[in-house]
Chains A and B, each alone.
Chain A
Amino acid sequence: MINKVQEYRKINKVTQNDLAISVDVTRQTIISLENGKYKPSLVLAHKIAQYFETSIEDLFIFDLEEENI
Protein backbone atom coordinates (compact mmCIF):
# COMPACT_ATOMS: atom_id res chain seq x y z
CA MET A 1 0.00 0.00 0.00
CA ILE A 2 1.35 3.40 -0.99
CA ASN A 3 0.39 6.52 0.93
CA LYS A 4 0.63 10.20 0.22
CA VAL A 5 0.74 11.35 3.83
CA GLN A 6 4.17 12.95 3.49
CA GLU A 7 3.12 14.68 0.27
CA TYR A 8 -0.03 16.14 1.84
CA ARG A 9 1.89 17.10 4.96
CA LYS A 10 4.47 19.07 2.97
CA ILE A 11 1.83 20.78 0.84
CA ASN A 12 0.02 21.89 4.00
CA LYS A 13 3.30 22.81 5.76
CA VAL A 14 2.57 20.58 8.73
CA THR A 15 5.28 18.91 10.81
CA GLN A 16 5.18 15.22 11.70
CA ASN A 17 4.75 16.19 15.35
CA ASP A 18 1.79 18.48 14.64
CA LEU A 19 0.07 15.78 12.58
CA ALA A 20 0.78 13.17 15.27
CA ILE A 21 -0.76 15.31 18.02
CA SER A 22 -3.80 16.13 15.87
CA VAL A 23 -4.60 12.48 15.15
CA ASP A 24 -3.65 11.21 18.64
CA VAL A 25 -0.63 9.09 17.77
CA THR A 26 3.11 9.38 18.40
CA ARG A 27 5.51 11.00 15.95
CA GLN A 28 7.17 7.61 15.49
CA THR A 29 3.89 6.21 14.15
CA ILE A 30 3.68 8.99 11.55
CA ILE A 31 7.32 8.31 10.56
CA SER A 32 6.67 4.56 10.20
CA LEU A 33 3.49 5.29 8.27
CA GLU A 34 5.25 7.61 5.82
CA ASN A 35 8.04 5.04 5.34
CA GLY A 36 5.47 2.39 4.51
CA LYS A 37 6.58 0.23 7.45
CA TYR A 38 3.28 0.54 9.28
CA LYS A 39 -0.24 0.17 7.91
CA PRO A 40 -2.71 2.34 9.82
CA SER A 41 -6.03 1.13 11.15
CA LEU A 42 -9.22 2.31 9.44
CA VAL A 43 -9.86 4.78 12.27
CA LEU A 44 -6.40 6.34 12.00
CA ALA A 45 -6.57 6.46 8.18
CA HIS A 46 -9.94 8.20 8.48
CA LYS A 47 -8.59 10.71 11.04
CA ILE A 48 -5.63 11.59 8.81
CA ALA A 49 -7.89 11.93 5.74
CA GLN A 50 -10.23 14.20 7.72
CA TYR A 51 -7.28 16.29 8.94
CA PHE A 52 -6.17 16.93 5.36
CA GLU A 53 -9.81 17.35 4.22
CA THR A 54 -9.50 14.60 1.66
CA SER A 55 -10.69 11.02 1.21
CA ILE A 56 -8.97 7.83 2.40
CA GLU A 57 -8.77 6.67 -1.26
CA ASP A 58 -6.80 9.80 -2.22
CA LEU A 59 -4.41 9.35 0.68
CA PHE A 60 -3.87 5.58 0.67
CA ILE A 61 -3.46 3.69 -2.59
CA PHE A 62 -3.82 -0.07 -2.56
CA ASP A 63 -1.43 -2.19 -4.55
CA LEU A 64 -3.94 -4.73 -5.89
CA GLU A 65 -1.30 -7.35 -6.54
CA GLU A 66 0.26 -7.04 -3.07
CA GLU A 67 -3.12 -7.18 -1.34
CA ASN A 68 -4.18 -10.11 -3.52
CA ILE A 69 -7.31 -8.36 -4.79
Chain B
Amino acid sequence: MSATNLRRMARILTIEDDAVTAGEIVAELQIHGHQVDSVSSGSEGLQRALTGNYDVITLDRMLPELDGLTLVKRLREAGVRAPVLMLSALSDVDERIRGLRAGGDDYMTKPFAPDEMAARIEVLLRREPAQQETVLRVGDLELDLMSRAARRGGAQIELLPLEFRLLDYLMRHSGQVLTRTMIFEAVWGYRFDPGTNVIDVHMARLRRKVDAGQSLSLIHTVRGCGYRLGESG
Protein backbone atom coordinates (compact mmCIF):
# COMPACT_ATOMS: atom_id res chain seq x y z
CA MET B 1 0.00 0.00 0.00
CA SER B 2 2.83 2.37 0.71
CA ALA B 3 4.17 2.27 -2.85
CA THR B 4 2.09 5.23 -3.86
CA ASN B 5 4.03 6.24 -6.89
CA LEU B 6 3.78 2.91 -8.60
CA ARG B 7 2.73 3.90 -12.09
CA ARG B 8 1.78 0.95 -14.15
CA MET B 9 0.78 1.74 -17.70
CA ALA B 10 -2.85 0.85 -18.06
CA ARG B 11 -4.71 -0.18 -21.19
CA ILE B 12 -7.84 1.88 -21.62
CA LEU B 13 -10.63 1.62 -24.19
CA THR B 14 -12.58 4.75 -25.05
CA ILE B 15 -15.93 4.24 -26.75
CA GLU B 16 -17.04 7.68 -27.87
CA ASP B 17 -18.74 8.78 -31.08
CA ASP B 18 -17.94 12.48 -30.73
CA ALA B 19 -14.46 12.96 -32.21
CA VAL B 20 -13.64 16.09 -30.17
CA THR B 21 -14.55 14.49 -26.85
CA ALA B 22 -12.72 11.30 -27.81
CA GLY B 23 -9.61 13.37 -28.63
CA GLU B 24 -9.76 15.10 -25.26
CA ILE B 25 -10.12 11.84 -23.36
CA VAL B 26 -7.26 10.21 -25.23
CA ALA B 27 -4.97 13.24 -24.78
CA GLU B 28 -5.66 13.52 -21.07
CA LEU B 29 -5.20 9.82 -20.38
CA GLN B 30 -2.00 9.71 -22.40
CA ILE B 31 -0.63 12.55 -20.26
CA HIS B 32 -1.24 10.27 -17.31
CA GLY B 33 0.84 7.64 -19.03
CA HIS B 34 -1.85 5.27 -20.21
CA GLN B 35 -2.25 3.47 -23.47
CA VAL B 36 -5.60 4.38 -24.99
CA ASP B 37 -7.56 2.79 -27.83
CA SER B 38 -10.46 4.77 -29.16
CA VAL B 39 -13.44 3.50 -31.15
CA SER B 40 -16.46 5.46 -32.30
CA SER B 41 -19.27 2.90 -32.56
CA GLY B 42 -20.99 0.73 -30.02
CA SER B 43 -20.74 -2.54 -31.88
CA GLU B 44 -17.03 -2.11 -32.55
CA GLY B 45 -16.57 -1.07 -28.94
CA LEU B 46 -18.29 -4.22 -27.74
CA GLN B 47 -16.06 -6.40 -29.91
CA ARG B 48 -12.89 -4.71 -28.66
CA ALA B 49 -14.00 -4.75 -25.04
CA LEU B 50 -14.81 -8.47 -25.20
CA THR B 51 -11.47 -9.46 -26.68
CA GLY B 52 -9.04 -6.71 -25.69
CA ASN B 53 -8.46 -7.39 -21.99
CA TYR B 54 -8.59 -3.69 -21.02
CA ASP B 55 -8.01 -2.35 -17.53
CA VAL B 56 -10.75 0.25 -17.75
CA ILE B 57 -13.35 1.41 -20.29
CA THR B 58 -14.85 4.86 -20.80
CA LEU B 59 -18.23 4.55 -22.39
CA ASP B 60 -20.46 7.17 -23.95
CA ARG B 61 -24.03 6.73 -22.78
CA MET B 62 -25.55 7.57 -26.13
CA LEU B 63 -24.03 5.85 -29.11
CA PRO B 64 -25.32 5.09 -32.59
CA GLU B 65 -26.42 1.48 -33.22
CA LEU B 66 -25.67 0.04 -29.81
CA ASP B 67 -26.59 2.18 -26.85
CA GLY B 68 -24.21 2.50 -23.89
CA LEU B 69 -26.56 0.91 -21.36
CA THR B 70 -27.08 -2.19 -23.49
CA LEU B 71 -23.36 -2.39 -24.17
CA VAL B 72 -22.37 -2.41 -20.52
CA LYS B 73 -25.06 -4.98 -19.76
CA ARG B 74 -23.73 -7.30 -22.50
CA LEU B 75 -20.18 -6.87 -21.21
CA ARG B 76 -21.20 -7.89 -17.73
CA GLU B 77 -23.18 -10.83 -19.05
CA ALA B 78 -20.13 -11.93 -20.99
CA GLY B 79 -18.11 -11.84 -17.75
CA VAL B 80 -15.96 -8.82 -18.56
CA ARG B 81 -15.08 -7.28 -15.21
CA ALA B 82 -13.14 -4.22 -16.35
CA PRO B 83 -14.40 -1.08 -14.59
CA VAL B 84 -16.59 1.15 -16.81
CA LEU B 85 -16.78 4.92 -16.49
CA MET B 86 -19.97 6.12 -18.15
CA LEU B 87 -19.99 9.54 -19.75
CA SER B 88 -23.33 11.08 -20.53
CA ALA B 89 -24.90 14.35 -21.59
CA LEU B 90 -27.88 13.37 -19.45
CA SER B 91 -27.48 14.70 -15.94
CA ASP B 92 -30.73 13.35 -14.55
CA VAL B 93 -30.42 11.50 -11.26
CA ASP B 94 -32.50 8.60 -12.59
CA GLU B 95 -30.24 8.38 -15.61
CA ARG B 96 -27.22 8.03 -13.37
CA ILE B 97 -28.89 5.32 -11.30
CA ARG B 98 -29.80 3.46 -14.50
CA GLY B 99 -26.22 3.65 -15.72
CA LEU B 100 -24.82 2.25 -12.49
CA ARG B 101 -27.47 -0.48 -12.31
CA ALA B 102 -26.68 -1.63 -15.81
CA GLY B 103 -23.15 -2.36 -14.63
CA GLY B 104 -21.28 0.94 -14.88
CA ASP B 105 -18.85 1.69 -12.08
CA ASP B 106 -18.90 5.46 -12.21
CA TYR B 107 -20.86 8.08 -14.02
CA MET B 108 -19.87 11.54 -15.24
CA THR B 109 -21.95 14.21 -16.89
CA LYS B 110 -20.75 15.93 -20.02
CA PRO B 111 -19.13 18.32 -20.36
CA PHE B 112 -16.56 17.23 -17.81
CA ALA B 113 -13.19 18.49 -16.74
CA PRO B 114 -10.59 16.06 -18.19
CA ASP B 115 -8.53 16.09 -15.00
CA GLU B 116 -11.58 15.06 -13.01
CA MET B 117 -12.17 12.28 -15.52
CA ALA B 118 -8.53 11.18 -15.22
CA ALA B 119 -8.77 11.20 -11.43
CA ARG B 120 -11.83 8.98 -11.57
CA ILE B 121 -10.09 6.64 -13.99
CA GLU B 122 -7.20 6.33 -11.55
CA VAL B 123 -9.59 5.41 -8.77
CA LEU B 124 -11.21 2.79 -10.98
CA LEU B 125 -7.82 1.41 -12.02
CA ARG B 126 -6.64 0.95 -8.46
CA ARG B 127 -9.87 -0.27 -7.11
CA GLU B 128 -8.70 -2.79 -4.62
CA PRO B 129 -10.43 -6.13 -4.34
CA ALA B 130 -12.85 -6.13 -1.44
CA GLN B 131 -10.38 -7.40 1.14
CA GLN B 132 -11.02 -6.61 4.74
CA GLU B 133 -8.13 -4.69 6.18
CA THR B 134 -8.34 -3.60 9.77
CA VAL B 135 -5.45 -1.13 9.76
CA LEU B 136 -4.66 1.26 6.91
CA ARG B 137 -1.08 2.51 6.66
CA VAL B 138 0.50 5.32 4.66
CA GLY B 139 4.05 6.12 5.74
CA ASP B 140 4.00 6.58 9.48
CA LEU B 141 0.28 7.29 9.46
CA GLU B 142 -1.95 4.52 10.76
CA LEU B 143 -5.71 4.27 10.84
CA ASP B 144 -7.19 1.49 12.91
CA LEU B 145 -10.64 0.76 11.48
CA MET B 146 -11.69 -1.36 14.43
CA SER B 147 -10.80 0.96 17.27
CA ARG B 148 -11.35 3.99 15.00
CA ALA B 149 -8.03 5.42 16.20
CA ALA B 150 -5.47 7.32 14.13
CA ARG B 151 -1.76 7.49 14.95
CA ARG B 152 1.11 9.29 13.32
CA GLY B 153 4.54 8.07 14.32
CA GLY B 154 3.02 6.49 17.39
CA ALA B 155 1.29 9.71 18.53
CA GLN B 156 -2.47 9.58 18.84
CA ILE B 157 -4.55 11.87 16.56
CA GLU B 158 -8.00 12.83 17.85
CA LEU B 159 -10.52 12.65 15.02
CA LEU B 160 -14.18 13.61 14.81
CA PRO B 161 -16.39 10.99 13.14
CA LEU B 162 -16.49 12.99 9.92
CA GLU B 163 -12.72 13.44 9.91
CA PHE B 164 -12.35 9.73 10.42
CA ARG B 165 -14.48 9.01 7.34
CA LEU B 166 -12.51 11.57 5.35
CA LEU B 167 -9.13 10.14 6.33
CA ASP B 168 -10.41 6.62 5.71
CA TYR B 169 -11.34 7.59 2.14
CA LEU B 170 -8.05 9.41 1.51
CA MET B 171 -5.96 6.53 2.84
CA ARG B 172 -7.83 3.92 0.83
CA HIS B 173 -6.99 5.96 -2.26
CA SER B 174 -3.52 7.04 -1.24
CA GLY B 175 -1.37 8.29 -4.06
CA GLN B 176 -4.41 9.12 -6.18
CA VAL B 177 -5.69 12.54 -7.04
CA LEU B 178 -9.11 13.02 -5.51
CA THR B 179 -11.21 15.97 -6.68
CA ARG B 180 -13.48 17.90 -4.32
CA THR B 181 -16.50 16.45 -6.11
CA MET B 182 -15.19 12.93 -5.61
CA ILE B 183 -14.49 13.57 -1.94
CA PHE B 184 -17.93 15.08 -1.37
CA GLU B 185 -19.53 12.19 -3.21
CA ALA B 186 -17.64 9.49 -1.34
CA VAL B 187 -17.55 10.92 2.18
CA TRP B 188 -20.87 12.76 2.33
CA GLY B 189 -22.72 10.71 -0.24
CA TYR B 190 -24.17 13.57 -2.27
CA ARG B 191 -23.91 14.24 -5.97
CA PHE B 192 -24.49 17.96 -6.16
CA ASP B 193 -22.00 20.80 -6.04
CA PRO B 194 -21.72 21.96 -2.42
CA GLY B 195 -20.23 25.22 -3.62
CA THR B 196 -17.92 27.56 -1.77
CA ASN B 197 -14.81 26.13 -0.25
CA VAL B 198 -16.57 23.89 2.20
CA ILE B 199 -14.53 20.79 1.27
CA ASP B 200 -11.31 22.79 1.46
CA VAL B 201 -12.14 23.81 5.01
CA HIS B 202 -12.61 20.19 6.05
CA MET B 203 -9.40 19.20 4.32
CA ALA B 204 -7.52 22.02 6.00
CA ARG B 205 -8.68 20.82 9.40
CA LEU B 206 -7.72 17.26 8.71
CA ARG B 207 -4.39 18.39 7.38
CA ARG B 208 -3.72 20.36 10.57
CA LYS B 209 -4.35 17.26 12.63
CA VAL B 210 -2.39 14.87 10.43
CA ASP B 211 0.55 17.02 9.34
CA ALA B 212 0.95 19.44 12.27
CA GLY B 213 4.52 19.43 13.55
CA GLN B 214 5.64 16.83 11.02
CA SER B 215 8.60 17.32 8.76
CA LEU B 216 6.91 15.34 6.00
CA SER B 217 3.46 16.35 4.85
CA LEU B 218 1.12 13.56 3.80
CA ILE B 219 -1.87 15.57 2.52
CA HIS B 220 -1.05 17.48 -0.65
CA THR B 221 -3.08 19.98 -2.62
CA VAL B 222 -3.11 19.29 -6.33
CA ARG B 223 -3.37 22.70 -7.93
CA GLY B 224 -6.66 23.42 -9.68
CA CYS B 225 -7.83 19.88 -9.15
CA GLY B 226 -8.03 18.41 -5.68
CA TYR B 227 -6.04 16.52 -3.07
CA ARG B 228 -3.73 13.61 -2.76
CA LEU B 229 -2.56 11.71 0.28
CA GLY B 230 0.85 10.18 0.02
CA GLU B 231 4.45 10.22 1.10
CA SER B 232 5.83 12.11 -1.89
CA GLY B 233 4.70 15.59 -2.89
Say whether A and B bind each other: no
